[in-house]
A and B are shown apart, each in its own frame.
Chain A
């Protein structure tokens, strides 16, 4: 899960970060962070909290409203990222389409291009260190969840748990901490700013072929690109003192050809057994 919401997802979906993180695990050995579920220990008294439905409604309204979100059928975002402490930087491109297609390309100096995709059925990845492969297990569950184009509408049918944990400071803002558990079993705590309703970030576990990594994500600098509000600055902390900073530059809507999500030849061969 660990979504940025449809608005965020329209521009900058979690799988892009997953690609970067998997790469970093490779390089640096991954990291450890605060477990998401432990983060809401400073919760305010439950009786003072709004219903989760109200928090989500506030959020949807804050980014542009349900009608605007449902008017989108695809998105294409571009940006850059850096892990300054390790001297790494690169570019990224994210294509997404309803109902659940996704393609994330990252190019890292000195490494080359990595691609991760979900075709609606098949989750896959290709990068220079691993070669082509089909995603399985938790990795597949995660990309399937992330590919849900309308997940920012928080359809209750896609969650087994949606609960407000409390109010806490997150990223310098007073936020409602809300725990979500997807039907896949993957979970996250997302932080909705009390005042404006926007998501300020989340804590979750990022899956990779090497294992799981706890990640804290901070979202900021919301702006619109002819659609809903999108966070254009995404900062991820994933333990070991490592931080990835992602900057979103452009977002376009409803212009992604379906063929964008066709499986590459190498992946088709793997699917064919």
Chain B
């Protein structure tokens, strides 16, 4: 049934994308997008952008837009000038059909099943990438996915034209604020560039682990696995949560929980995972690749690890402030009295950890409850709304800044791990998770010390 609905939505997208853009609609949509940001941006200086002048500059282009796609380019440019995260336009039909990768926590940001021109791009190749050592490397391969079946392995170098082009751009912008986010988004683009119609093949060239050239035909497929969830104007998202127990060399046990997005319907699963792992010597929350979700979830989730209400950080809007306050979880779903987990807590992050995940990690780091392992996060943390525009597209727009309890801004800077772990191609090839290993090593020491 879900697939039928999605197909209908896809058809709607096709119609939307193919239809000529009426000038009146285009202007109304452009004006609405401009006005929403004008009224809700948390910074009355618009991050240094002359917002009125920008409208005057771009509005004529919106008036003359000949297609929905042209109009989107104009609005995208307007949003892009702000230079901040969470300003984005989701094509209307696509907003209802976008999906996350089927497997793996190193997933890309939600990508469109169809592009704005109505081309079916819902088939993916089943791997994710990371920018490392100046190139895009295969970060993970979805288990049983098309790339896995074709023989693609982690650590291989992706040799597509777009990968080469973006690698050059990234190398040229090294050291700039927002570089981590730029790398992650470039990685998204490299993978999305391979998407296409399900069942079709795409030939991709790689350098394998021996640096030999390999060309593989990968059959594109729709993502599978996980649970498809829909929430408000967010597109349907494929949600994964896994938890397991890790036993150390000396018999210690550690809990590992990983999930790819923060949605309310996952909360019960997280609560259950905590319940199942309550007796472990240490807990690891793996947020690598987790791009965020519903911000309020950090309050109940962090409450599993804090025995008192604690402010993790503050949303600072133009005229108001709201705090993320934790709720100590002193009762479980069975109605039994419990205590929040008080053992060592490690949070794993990387360059594609973003938004709500950064609020959670940065917030718990700021109050001294968690130790962060991995690589600096994306620095894309602004709380946002998703408003539907007159033409059916969805405007995502930030309405607040976020500052941790110890006064740190995360936007642009990200969460800097307490224990940085350098990701290497060798580790990818060998399947060695150095970040997880570092966290376990720390927990062994902590549990022994306690």
Contact = CB atoms under 8 A, between A and B. Distances in A.
A211 B321 contact: yes
A45 interface: no
A269 B331 contact: yes
Given A110-B263, A241-B387, A27 B296 contact: yes
Given A27-B296, A131-B300, A269 B320 contact: no
B297 A129 contact: yes
Interface in B302-357: 303, 315, 317-325, 327, 329-331, 333, 335-337
Interface stretch (A10-18, A62-70, A85-93, A195-203): A85-93
Residue of B322, B327, B394, B399 with most chain A CB atoms under a 10 A cut-off = B322
Contacts of B400: 29
Interface residues of A, number: 43
A44 interface: no
Contacts of A133: 327
A153 interface: no
Given A130-B327, A133-B327, A209 B295 contact: no
Interface string A230-244: 000000000111100
A19 interface: no
Contacts of B303: 130-131
B363 to A, nearest CB: 13
A87 B386 contact: yes
A23 B265 CA distance: 14
B255 to A, nearest CB: 18
Which among A83, A129, A211, A264 has the highest number of chain B CB atoms within 10 Å? A129
Interface stretch (B128-136, B210-218, B227-235, B426-434): B227-235
B383 interface: yes
B170 interface: no
A50 interface: no
A26 B265 contact: no
Contacts of B369: none
Contact of B296 (A25, A264, A269, A272): A25
Interface residues of B, number: 48
Nearest to B320: A32
Contacts of B315: 29-30, 210
B233 A86 contact: yes
A35 B335 CA distance: 41
B399 A128 contact: no
B439 to A, nearest CB: 26
A243 B337 CA distance: 39
A133 B325 CA distance: 12
Given A111-B231, A270-B330, A26 B267 contact: no
B78 to A, nearest CB: 17
Contacts of A132: 331
By secondary structure, the A interface counts as: mixed
A230 B209 CA distance: 72
B39 interface: yes
A213 B317 CA distance: 12
B323 A241 contact: no
Interface string B226-257: 00011111000000000000000000000000
A28 B229 CA distance: 18
A86 B234 CA distance: 9
A29 B264 contact: no
A88 B331 contact: no
Contact of A112 (B40, B264, B330, B384): B264
Interface in B96-144: none
A160 B299 CA distance: 35
Contacts of B325: 209-210
A28 B384 CA distance: 6
Interface in A175-194: none
B448 to A, nearest CB: 32
Given A87-B233, A211-B321, A29 B399 contact: yes
B271 interface: yes
Interface in A131-178: 131-133
Given A27-B295, A128-B265, A131-B271, A269 B322 contact: no
Contact of B300 (A28, A84, A129, A214): A129
A32 B318 contact: yes
A129 B296 contact: yes
A209 B386 contact: no
B88 interface: no
A211 B319 CA distance: 13
Given A110-B263, A110-B265, A128-B268, A211 B324 contact: no
30 contacts: A26-B295, A26-B299, A28-B399, A29-B315, A30-B317, A83-B232, A84-B388, A85-B387, A85-B388, A86-B385, A87-B394, A88-B232, A111-B231, A128-B264, A128-B267, A128-B300, A130-B300, A131-B329, A131-B331, A210-B296, A210-B325, A213-B320, A241-B39, A265-B335, A266-B335, A269-B330, A269-B335, A269-B336, A269-B337, A270-B331
Interface of A: 23, 25-32, 83-88, 109-112, 128-133, 208-214, 239-242, 264-266, 268-270, 272
Interface of B: 36, 39-40, 229-233, 263-265, 267-268, 271, 294-297, 299-300, 303, 315, 317-325, 327, 329-331, 333, 335-337, 383-388, 394, 399-400
Given A29-B385, A131-B303, 15 more contacts: A25-B296, A26-B294, A28-B383, A28-B384, A31-B320, A87-B386, A110-B230, A129-B296, A129-B300, A209-B325, A209-B327, A212-B320, A240-B385, A266-B333, A269-B337
The 10 A-B residue pairs whose C-beta atoms are closest, nearest first, are A26-B296, A265-B335, A110-B231, A87-B233, A210-B322, A29-B383, A111-B264, A128-B264, A130-B300, A32-B319
